A and B are shown apart, each in its own frame.
Chain A
Amino acid sequence: MDTLVFWILAGTAVLSALAVVVLKNPMNSVVALLVTLLVTAGLYLQMGAFVIALFQVILYVGAVLVLFLFVIMTLDLKSSRERPVLSPRGLAAAFTAGIFFIAGAGWFASRGGFFPKTAVSPGVPGNGPGIREIALDLFTGHLLVFELASVLLLAAAVAALVIVRKERSRP
């Protein structure tokens, strides 16, 4: 049961990611990304990372994706004359990539999986760490990273403002 859910979710994620890449209209790609993000959140839930799933939905879907939608709607994008990804060339590229992937996977499999059998623990039973534990770790053990991330956000906000500002012509 568990595995089935996993594979359904994983399959959906892969398919929608492919859709992001393949679809011509950027709007359609954004929607496909939406699907990918939600499905990934589901995967997080299945792995017991509730906090992360929460943030995935709030941050990615709720903020980043909405921002993408805004920008696309605001800009008047002319349809470009791109070569469609499903062109013979694209398919050939995908095929090559597939070959490489299978080769790599086969090689890993021949060596007994990604990891030596002893190194990986069977996993934490039940759920993963809750929000309390994560918060404690974040604000004590990894405080510096936290602060830096906030500075980064500030810089990004300022940068976005500056880049978008129109040139004011001098009289």
Chain B
Amino acid sequence: MSLESVMVTGIVLFIIGASGFLLRGNAIVLLLCIEVMLNAVNLILVGFARYLYGTEGQVFVFIIMTVSAAEAAVGLAIVVALVRLFGTADMTRINLLKG
């Protein structure tokens, strides 16, 4: 297990999460993809923390987790409000602007 392999794994996971974010339309799934991306970033950070001295890498990961939890909460609240308003969670069909 080398740093490069950890990084490669992280990058691949991030790309998967990003593509999923761009390709899917369901609001919940979008949030899930965000979580995937964040996890990928955490993985890379922990990898760096492992290979360099110090505690800062893990502290940073901790904070990221906190933020991610907060964001998931608010995001889900928004999804609930959206579904209540539009009756669907499909983001591609929700458009009030005249474009």
Contact = CB atoms under 8 A, between A and B. Distances in A.
Given A44-B46, A80-B25, A71 B70 contact: no
Given A20-B29, A134-B59, A164-B77, A105 B1 contact: no
B32 A164 contact: no
Interface in A1-24: 2-3, 6-7, 10, 13-14, 17-18, 20-21
B32 A163 contact: no
B74 A128 contact: no
A26 B29 contact: yes
Contacts, number: 223
Nearest to B83: A75
**Could you say which of A43, A94, A146 has the most chain B C-beta atoms within 10 Å of its C-beta?**
A43
B32 to A, nearest CB: 5
A103 interface: no
A129 B55 contact: yes
Interface string B1-39: 101111111011101110110011110110111011001
Contact of A40 (B26, B31, B42, B81): B42
Interface residues of A, number: 81
A44 B6 CA distance: 11
Contact of B90 (A29, A47, A80, A141): A80
Closest 9 CB pairs between A and B? A21-B20, A156-B70, A80-B90, A160-B77, A163-B77, A137-B55, A10-B9, A6-B1, A26-B28
Interface of B: 1, 3-9, 11-13, 15-17, 19-20, 23-26, 28-29, 31-33, 35-36, 39, 42-43, 46-47, 49-56, 58-59, 61-63, 65-74, 76-81, 83-84, 87-90, 92-93
Interface of A: 2-3, 6-7, 10, 13-14, 17-18, 20-21, 26, 29-30, 33, 36-37, 40, 43-44, 46-49, 51-52, 55-56, 59-60, 63-64, 67-68, 71-72, 74-75, 77-78, 80-82, 85, 90, 93-94, 97, 101, 105, 113-115, 120-124, 128-129, 133-134, 136-138, 141-142, 145-146, 149, 152-153, 155-157, 159-161, 163-164, 166
